[in-house]
Chains A and B, each alone.
Chain A
């Protein structure tokens, strides 16, 4: 994007003298979204608070358009940085419009009276976020999703260069999560705001960030585009995932694999057996699966959950070698489930598997 709005130089943040994260270097340009991810307690919120100058930085600096924040007056900071927090608002008798109006605080006079200009800007912020219909509703009487959007409108009314959001999607349902992040993205682009947010939802971080900053063990473990961060088993290592596995391509997690001698053999492919894998995992039954192409959509799930997995190279017909290997495992299993209804020419190996099983069953009878 064009021009850096927010950057940090060798930034160390923490409480008092206790350093929580050190050596931070990041840059956020106009209209860009930087998402901070990392395990609980890594210091994500501490970073946000330090950028907002709510916590004094321990060393290094945060700059907005080249000016160090530490040298700015409280009012200048307020005009440049606005925040959107997860804190529940307990204010009595405040309408959503009142709440959004508080965004104009740094711009109003001694008594905080709104000018016509201020009112117009408040209206605009509410229109941009689609919250006009809530204008006269008490902030305590709306849903979590609506409240978060109203708080976003408030932050926008502050006309900041930098917008900071601490877990904006917590407590929201999936549709509201998507809505909020879409609105955020549009706002960042249309208003040229640099956005920094923390997220726990990795799938959303992957899809709604321009850059991702990964915090672990008191430092920036990795910084880059979502493609750079969501690669290989990096996320698993970042979070030290040991109770399941992370499917990088989808940004989702699978439960822990049931290990042991396979009791069931699942013939799958093309996504047909995903539900079956998960059901068997849930029931605690170790299973084998095959024969799955390495580029099959269900390959990541199968390799996360199957105790044994027979695979085939991508775009190759299923080889006899794989078929024999699979039959060996299948014959030891007490049950076979075939999730496939059709077998294409590349997948005839799986048909052979099924045929082997059905003929065995017939012989038994």
Chain B
């Protein structure tokens, strides 16, 4: 029977990688300027004769595609970590208000620094977002000690998200006119405007944090049985919990810093991946969620760009349309299992 599972997992991985490749290429070739695959290839390898195509691909589309893939992966892994932490399949950085917390601190620091004519660099943006993530996370952790019911926890998270968003709106209202456009676009969520330097920072943070999350697969698997069993197996609970919180916050902070808050990916993708793979084993699901998140965000970004081109939709508009129903599905499937048990 384990052979059957191995085949299923291999197949699923193959499909995911293929989808990622296909949508990555699509992201590069589609746009207001239609380019052929060979033109894109030439632009990438640097043999391009057409300089405008080369510029478009190398400066705009490639960083955007890479960002969508990396940040999508980061969101999904972050979601999966939070789901493990709270033993709750509908936990994620967006619904728990962690993305909104990051949004608030990033907006505030952007406005403050712009006032003095300073532009934040990538690392500083991530730092600001991380502070906000940890603040929201702290609030959630405080509340989670009091609420035993997972639905209450989610509601608390959504409320924290609303508070942070309201504060962000308030801050934006009083911002200088010049800043508003900038802030407004960013706070709606988008993969546009990310350059290659940003991508390098993103890649370092996201890949390192995801690799670290992967190394936590073993204790995460034990933790799925519950605290007491995990402890009996020799898991250092304090250290493990701290690592989960830190990694999921870094990942979602990175996303918010560069793309603004992106909704529901963190819940929808792990749920879909777990369903497809038929397991929740972290060692399988963490890499699969990463690739799945990349695919999901590439597809959503394509739709955001192309559906009403040249008008671009915010990325959260699209991820919500596809993600929110999956979240509802995840909730229903959980309920039916509880009922039958």
Q: Which of chain B's residues 208-232 have a Cβ closer than 8 Å to chain A?
A: 215, 217-218, 221-222, 224-226, 228-229, 231-232
Q: Which residue of B lies closest to A92 (CB)?
A: B280
Shortest C-beta distance, B277 to chain A (Å), equals: 8
Q: Give the interface size bracket for A toward B.
A: 35 or more
List, in ascending order, chain B residues with CB within 8 A of A54's CB. 228, 231-232
A111 adjacent to B217 (CB under 8 Å): yes
Q: With the chains together, A17 CA to B283 CA distance in Å? A: 40
Chief secondary structure at chain A's binding surface: loop
Q: With the chains together, A92 CA to B90 CA distance in Å? A: 12
List, in ascending order, chain B residues with CB within 8 A of A90's CB. 87, 226
Of A78, A136, A158, the contact of B1 (CB 8 Å cutoff): A136
Q: Give the interface size bracket for B toward A.
A: 20 to 34
A110 adjacent to B280 (CB under 8 Å): no
List, in ascending order, chain A residues with CB within 8 A of B229's CB. 83, 85, 87, 102
Of A75, A85, A91, A136, the contact of B280 (CB 8 Å cutoff): A91
Q: Which residue of A lies closest to B340 (CB)?
A: A141
Q: With the chains together, A22 CA to B152 CA distance in Å? A: 39
B232 adjacent to A110 (CB under 8 Å): no
Task: Indicate if B241 sits at the interface (CB-CB under 8 A).
Answer: no
Of A99, A112, A158, the contact of B218 (CB 8 Å cutoff): A112
Interface residues in chain A, defined as those with a beta carbon under 8 Å from any beta carbon in chain B: 52, 54, 73-75, 77-78, 81-83, 85, 87-94, 97-99, 102, 105-106, 108, 110-113, 135-136, 140-141, 158
Shortest C-beta distance, A48 to chain B (Å), equals: 10
Q: Which residue of B lies closest to A105 (CB)?
A: B233
Report which residue of A52, A88, A90, A158 has the largest number of chain B beta carbons within 10 angstroms of its beta carbon: A90
B226 adjacent to A74 (CB under 8 Å): no
Interface residues in chain B, defined as those with a beta carbon under 8 Å from any beta carbon in chain A: 1-2, 87, 89, 215, 217-218, 221-222, 224-226, 228-229, 231-236, 274, 278-281, 283, 337, 340-341
How many residue pairs, one in A and one in B, have C-beta atoms under 8 Å apart?
82
Q: With the chains together, A4 CA to B340 CA distance in Å? A: 44
B228 adjacent to A78 (CB under 8 Å): no
Q: With the chains together, A141 CA to B218 CA distance in Å? A: 24
Of A77, A94, A110, the contact of B234 (CB 8 Å cutoff): A77
Contacts A78-B233, A89-B226, A136-B1 hold; do A94 and B218 have CB atoms under 8 A apart? no
List, in ascending order, chain A residues with CB within 8 A of B228's CB. 54, 83, 85, 87
Q: With the chains together, A112 CA to B222 CA distance in Å? A: 10
A108 adjacent to B232 (CB under 8 Å): no
11 contacts between A and B (CB under 8 A): A52-B232, A92-B224, A94-B224, A97-B2, A102-B233, A105-B218, A111-B217, A112-B218, A140-B340, A141-B337, A158-B233
B278 adjacent to A93 (CB under 8 Å): yes
List, in ascending order, chain B residues with CB within 8 A of A88's CB. 341
Q: With the chains together, A160 CA to B234 CA distance in Å? A: 13
